[in-house]
A and B are shown apart, each in its own frame.
Chain A
Amino acid sequence: MCEKKIDEIIEKYRGQPSSLIHALVEIQHENHWLPREVMHRVADALAVPFAQVMQIASFYKTFSLTPKGRHEVHVCTGMTCHLRGAAKLLERVEELTGLKAGETDADSRFTLDTGACLGSCSIAPELIVDGKHYGRMTPDKAEAVLKSYE
């Protein structure tokens, strides 16, 4: 299913080198990561050097060059969240998942990410799993939240 979608995206942008970022964003959104072989196909179809595709893919942190887990766990590390205890929350989440930011576990259950400010600073510190916000989190509440995700 994903393969077909990726083909469609590549075809949509064939011959349009200036749409490289758009193409990669759509593939990332669809596939949750950018396999090397797919990047070669993008390079060929969009007439862009492969090195440039790799450069863009490694530059922007929205792109993942490794497969992601079923659930994306995000700990906001924006300034307000930081002032209100995000570091301790992150420590606990790292403990619970066994992951550091950017990593995925061996069972492909979780991918952990940190990043800045999603604009809901009033409910800092925040844990966001698959886009769902868990605000005013404390380290001891983290376990219950993560347990609910298989």
Chain B
Amino acid sequence: MHIPDGFLSTPVAAAGITAAAGTIAYAVKATNKKMGEKQVPMMGVLAAFIFAAQMLNFPVAGGTSGHFLGAALAAIILGPWSAVLIMSCVLMVQCFIFQDGGLLALGANILNMGVIAVFVSYFTYKGIFTVMRGSRTGRLVAAGVGGWISVVTSALACAAELVISGIVPWQVAVPAMGTVHMAIGVGEGLITVAVLALIMGTRADLLNLQQPA
């Protein structure tokens, strides 16, 4: 759901850039001097993995495709502030080098997919994981729901920006963006669960990398 230039009004694009820049600055401050020995390579390989996985669009109903986002996975493995940084790096490279997502819309895209998706999935994951008493099943269920909800809320934030920009009425944008991303979110949830199950089965210690938020 990378927004191209032209869809957003100038005030909405400017607000997006301001919000994204402020959040990234805070994320740098929150993680500075805290990256541990294993987090350094993890930040690198996770950014590479998320970029590559985002290229693999999978078909959903009605001649539409969706792709993995990765915000939930990054938030679960590294915590929300590191995840904001990873997602912002991925979105910037996609925008600057591959012209995926508009230059002026970059702030809004970072806000939707790199900030809102990260925090919504992180708190959903934490909440369900705690309610299910930290069990193995609880962790996987929490990751699946977290992945799904990250895509849906990200799409609704995108819809809201289009509505405020005056390009499409909310009666159209909200149901349309919501419905298609509820389907795409299922893929997100499944991939997040699969990757997490793989990590839990091989290197469970890597799930305890994040600093207390």
A and B from one complex: no
Query: B residues bordering A, Cβ < 8 Å?
Result: none
